[in-house]
Amino acid sequence: MELLTLWSWLPVRITMYQPILLYTTEEHGCSLTTFYVRVEQHEPTLLMIKTCNNEVFGAYCSSRWGERNIKDDRGNRQAYFGTGETFLFSLYPERAKYPWVGMEGDKVQHGAELFMAADSKMITIGGGEGQAIWMDENIRFGKTDKCATFNNPPLCPGGDFEIRVLEVYGFATDQLN
């Protein structure tokens, strides 16, 4: 039932493709390095976090995680990347979708365009006055807060969480028929 709800929130063009489990901590271990190796060339991806308190939430990430390595004109790595198609969701105990605040077509501040960030020590989704989802390099602990990009509440009570399972899905957009 939860997956049907989630499916209805995806961009329509993505729902035509088969989801593929690219990475799960249960099978591939709890390492950001392994996470990147397995998911960084896929676009888009869906991250689903199950906490030790049984909360379930995550994000639809519109861009490849490999974009964390792209440099700007000055040779600096871009801190944030991604597009306004990125969204957050909560499935349990609350069921809700939190789209980008700019989806309404209004002009938004730079602090509301902080979609995805990542390096060797962490992953962040959503920024501006807080981070919607932050995970450490061991994919064990995380934090959730309200943020300007998605105008979301914290995705679990208390804000801090321990990750029981992280699953990352890709979509078979590049398979031949």
pLDDT 10s digits, 106-141: 778 878 899 999 999 999 999 999 999 999 999 999
User: Looking at the whole model, is its pTM more than 0.85?
Assistant: yes
Q: What is the mean pLDDT of the chain?
A: 92
Residue 20 pLDDT greater than 90, yes or no = yes
Cβ 18 vs Cβ 177: under 8 Å: no
Residue 136, helix vs strand vs coil: strand
Cβ 11 vs Cβ 45: under 8 Å: no
pLDDT bin (cut points 50, 70, 90) of residue 159 is very high
pLDDT tens digit sequence for 66-75 = 999 888 788 8
Residue 176: the pLDDT is 42
Residue 1: the pLDDT is 54
Q: At 66, phi and psi to the nearest 5?
A: -60, -20
**Largest Cα–Cα distance in the chain?**
48
Between 79 and 106, name the one with better pLDDT. Answer: 79
As given in the structure block, the two tokens for residue 107 are: 């002009």
pLDDT bin (cut points 50, 70, 90) of residue 10 is very high
Residue 177 pLDDT greater than 70, yes or no = no
pLDDT tens digit sequence for 45-56 = 999 999 999 999
The CA-to-CA distance between both ends of the chain, in Å, stands at 28
